[in-house]
Amino acid sequence: MLNLPTPPSTSRDVRPTIAVSLTSETAFLLQTYLGTVATWMDLMDFDLTYQLSIPRLTLSSPLLFHSVCAYTAKYLSLSNSRHHSSWDSVARHHYGQSLNHLISTLNSPAHEHALTATILVSSYEVINSLSVEHRRHFLGAMMLIRSHNISAQSTGINRANFWIYVRHEIVVALSSEKPLVLHPDDWNVQWKQNETREDILGNQMLWILARVINLIYGKQGTVRSNKLQREGFLHELEDWKAGLSDPFIGIPYGEEDEDGFRKIYFTVTAAGEFQTILSRYTLIDFYSCSSFLVSYRTYFAIYGA
């Protein structure tokens, strides 16, 4: 038997500091968040920032606590409205609390967690169809990104928030048929040749898609004036696809359907082929806005808020 010394007793409380009111309901929301909306946020983030880093901050930050609870409760209210109708009032309560804390945070010099909360609140507003409120917080997120010099080269939570913001901005640009406010040239991207990480490849496609949107909806968005640029984007897409490793190339299988298409199997989950088709739609068929927007709604359904 090992004769180990007894550690000295201590009266210090080693429990984490809790700055919020944790109840059975809010604990359930925080747990549900991890397996639902947090995975949407991390769809293009293999570091799983919203599943691993954000939960560690929720009990010490009332702002993040109420933002997470609002988003999750709204998800529950929509997942099965007949059985979860009571979650709507819970979502509204936490949404109101998060806005109050966000205003206080923005009035302080530190702006601690303000961008993360704005991203969460904006996501709540997307699934709740609050377009006016979403537009306001979308612009607020852009101002925070610019004022704090956050870009694709940022790290940790800032980097995750940057790419989620980009997804939101692409949605806004498409719905309004206008160029992106934060121009892709200002994203400060740096890509490696022969990249294999799916999340980075997905972000590369967002970057290409954003530039395509700016080309189409910009001041020079006519066939004659930007024909060379359009052709350049098509070549860029082909080069991007050619640089993918074998696991990213789809393998057709099965019989053709009535339209002549076959199912395609991917050994990885990246939707690179779909995004290539989507970007081609943007370049080649941009006059047909209705078909393009239908295509992008499919994209948004896949890639989340």
Domain boundaries defined on the chain: 21-190, 191-305
**Cβ-contact 67, 60 below 8 angstroms:** no
pLDDT value at 301 more than 50? no
Q: pLDDT-derived band of residue 3, with 50, 70 and 90 as boundaries?
A: low
Burial (CB count within 10 angstroms: exposed 0-12, middle 13-18, buried 19+), residue 167: buried
Q: pLDDT-derived band of residue 273, with 50, 70 and 90 as boundaries?
A: very low
Alpha carbons 2 and 39: distance in angstroms, whole number: 46
Give the H/E segment covering residue 56: helix 55-58
Alpha carbons 139 and 71: distance in angstroms, whole number: 19
**Cβ-contact 269, 198 below 8 angstroms:** yes
Query: What pLDDT is stored for residue 17 in this prediction?
Result: 67
pLDDT in tens, 61-112: 999 999 999 999 999 999 875 666 789 999 999 999 999 999 999 998 888 8
* pTM attached to this predicted model: 0.78
Paired strand residues for 252: 264
pLDDT in tens, 219-257: 765 656 667 777 888 888 888 878 877 777 778 899 998
Q: pLDDT-derived band of residue 267, with 50, 70 and 90 as boundaries?
A: confident
